[in-house]
């Protein structure tokens, strides 16, 4: 059976709008970016990071923090008022700011504290009819995967999401998929295992599934430059999108961001445009003009100029490659990928 295709959590990117787009394009499950438990306790739940719609479900809400009490109080409030489809504890983020605060990958250096947090999260999730997961790395300075996994299993965690690199490695080198296979063999039927790391294409997905036996494959950075990778996996074929198609996806992303104000939506578009347009001729020349746009309307006007330039340079229609169904729909319409 094919593993779940999952949008991995990415700080600054996996907000509600992108989660909705990923689900529409074929992701089976989405994940929020890491959210500070302390922020929830201080500021409450009225924050764009905590906006969840039915269209992006099932969604797992990821918390990070250094104090068990804060994590558990925030989790209880989130379950009661937002009701995500699952809770996740971040024990793998290697960002300096996060590690210095004693959260993220820093938890891998204090297994008793990790156990306390994970056990409490499992109990809260269970009381609300959902499961808790933990996303973690092989270790901080050295590979201690078995010790960490054993700690999480004792805590009752039923979903283990492993990024098979050390925290100190960041995203350098290659993810060691063989360690995900080791984890899968270790836990047997006691827990489900998700792989995270270096899945960048349809071929990677199938190879990762075959080599590891993972129950789920998480796709992160590749989904930013190729959000239609979820469609490729479901369709079983590679798709190449033209400029007009990519613009349509940006318009769809904008339409999903109706919970943000105009300034926030423009900021979001400027964040995603360089990713979605990767590989498009003229991208480098256009980007400074896009990033200088002072309104959403100006942003899309400048973006469509790129499409018109490309169309004038070729006689081929957007549908000629036979990989897209229907023309690109400006103004927030959807692209229907086969």
CA atoms of 187 and 334, how far apart (whole Å) = 41
Q: Are residues 131 and 250 in the same domain?
A: no
What is the rounded average pLDDT of the residues 91-118? 97
Q: Are residues 207 and 322 in the same domain?
A: no
Q: Are residues 222 and 262 in the same domain?
A: no
Last residue of a domain, one of 194, 219, 235: 235
pLDDT bracket for residue 282 (50, 70, 90): confident
pLDDT bracket for residue 326 (50, 70, 90): very low
Range of the structural domain that residue 215 is part of: 4-235
pLDDT at 333: 44
Instruction: Read off the CATH number of the domain in which 137 is found.
Output: 3.20.20.70
Last residue of a domain, one of 218, 235, 252: 235
DSSP class of residue 29 equals B
The closest alpha carbon to 178, from 203, 145, 224, belongs to: 145
At residue 323, does pLDDT exceed 80? no
- Beta-carbon-side half-sphere exposure of residue 316 (alpha carbons within 13 Å): 9
pLDDT at 308: 74
pLDDT bracket for residue 304 (50, 70, 90): confident
Q: Are residues 213 and 256 in the same domain?
A: no
Q: Are residues 230 and 253 in the same domain?
A: no
pLDDT bracket for residue 312 (50, 70, 90): low
What secondary structure does DSSP assign to 303-337, as a single string? HHHHHHHHHHT----TTTTS-EES---TTTPPPEE
Q: Are residues 184 and 299 in the same domain?
A: no
Q: Are residues 67 and 134 in the same domain?
A: yes
Dump pLDDT digits (tens) for 122-161: 999 999 999 999 999 999 999 999 999 999 999 999 999 9
List, in order, residues 6 or more apart from 249 with CB less than 8 Å away: 21, 227, 228, 241, 276, 335
Q: Are residues 75 and 161 in the same domain?
A: yes
At residue 83, does pLDDT exceed 70? yes
At residue 315, does pLDDT exceed 80? no
CA atoms of 192 and 33, how far apart (whole Å) = 21
- Number of domains into which the chain is organized: 2
CA atoms of 25 and 15, how far apart (whole Å) = 16
pLDDT bracket for residue 329 (50, 70, 90): very low
Per-chain mean pLDDT for the chain: 92
CA atoms of 16 and 33, how far apart (whole Å) = 10
What secondary structure does DSSP assign to 45-78, as a single string? S-SGGG---GGG-SEEEEEE-S-HHHHHHHHHHH
Model confidence, pTM: 0.91
- Beta-carbon-side half-sphere exposure of residue 231 (alpha carbons within 13 Å): 19
pLDDT at 331: 38
Last residue of a domain, one of 180, 200, 235: 235
Q: Are residues 46 and 130 in the same domain?
A: yes
Helices (H), the chain: 16-25, 37-43, 68-81, 96-100, 111-127, 145-154, 177-187, 202-212, 221-225, 229-235, 243-255, 262-276, 283-291, 296-312
Dump pLDDT digits (tens) for 234-269: 999 999 999 999 999 999 999 999 999 999 999 999
What is the rounded average pLDDT of the residues 177-194? 97
Q: Are residues 82 and 215 in the same domain?
A: yes
Q: Are residues 210 and 258 in the same domain?
A: no
Q: Are residues 134 and 20 in the same domain?
A: yes
pLDDT bracket for residue 335 (50, 70, 90): low
pLDDT at 307: 73
At residue 46, does pLDDT exceed 80? yes
pLDDT at 321: 42
Dump pLDDT digits (tens) for 51-82: 999 999 999 999 999 999 999 999 999 999 99
Q: Which residues are catalytic?
A: 93
**236 phi/psi in degrees, rounded to 5:** 75, 25
């Amino acid at each position: 059976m094919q593993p779940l295709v999952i949008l991995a959590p990415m700080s600054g990117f996996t907000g509600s709008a992108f989660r909705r787009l990923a689900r529409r394009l074929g992701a089976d499950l989405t994940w929020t970016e890491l959210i500070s438990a302390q922020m929830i306790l201080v500021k409450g739940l009225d924050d764009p990071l905590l906006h969840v719609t039915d269209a992006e479900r099932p969604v797992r809400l990821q918390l990070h923090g250094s104090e068990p009490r804060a994590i558990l109080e925030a989790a209880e409030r989130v379950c009661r008022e937002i009701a995500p489809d699952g809770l996740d504890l971040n024990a793998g983020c290697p960002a300096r700011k996060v590690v210095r605060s004693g959260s993220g990958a820093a938890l891998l250096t204090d297994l008793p504290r990790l156990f306390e947090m994970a056990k409490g999260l499992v109990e809260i999730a269970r009381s609300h009819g959902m499961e808790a997961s933990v996303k973690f790395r092989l270790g901080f300075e050295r590979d201690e995967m078995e010790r960490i996994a054993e700690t999480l299993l004792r805590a009752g965690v039923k979903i283990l999401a492993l990024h098979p690199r050390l925290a100190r490695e960041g995203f350098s080198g290659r993810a060691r998929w063989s360690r995900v296979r080791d984890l899968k063999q270790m836990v047997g039927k006691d827990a489900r295992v998700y792989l995270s790391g270096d899945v960048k294409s349809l071929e990677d997905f199938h190879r990762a599934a075959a080599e590891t036996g993972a129950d789920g494959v998480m796709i992160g950075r590749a989904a930013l430059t190729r959000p239609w990778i979820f469609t490729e996996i479901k369709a079983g074929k590679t798709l190449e999108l033209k400029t007009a198609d990519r613009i349509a996806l940006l318009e769809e992303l904008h339409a999903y961001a109706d919970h943000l104000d105009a300034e926030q939506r423009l900021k979001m578009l400027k964040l995603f445009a360089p990713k979605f347009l990767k590989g498009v001729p003229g991208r480098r020349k256009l980007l400074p003009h896009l990033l200088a746009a002072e309104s959403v309307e100006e942003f899309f006007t400048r973006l469509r100029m790129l499409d018109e330039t490309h169309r004038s340079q070729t006689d081929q229609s957007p549908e000629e490659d036979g990989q897209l169904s229907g023309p690109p729909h400006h103004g927030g319409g959807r692209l229907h990928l086969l």
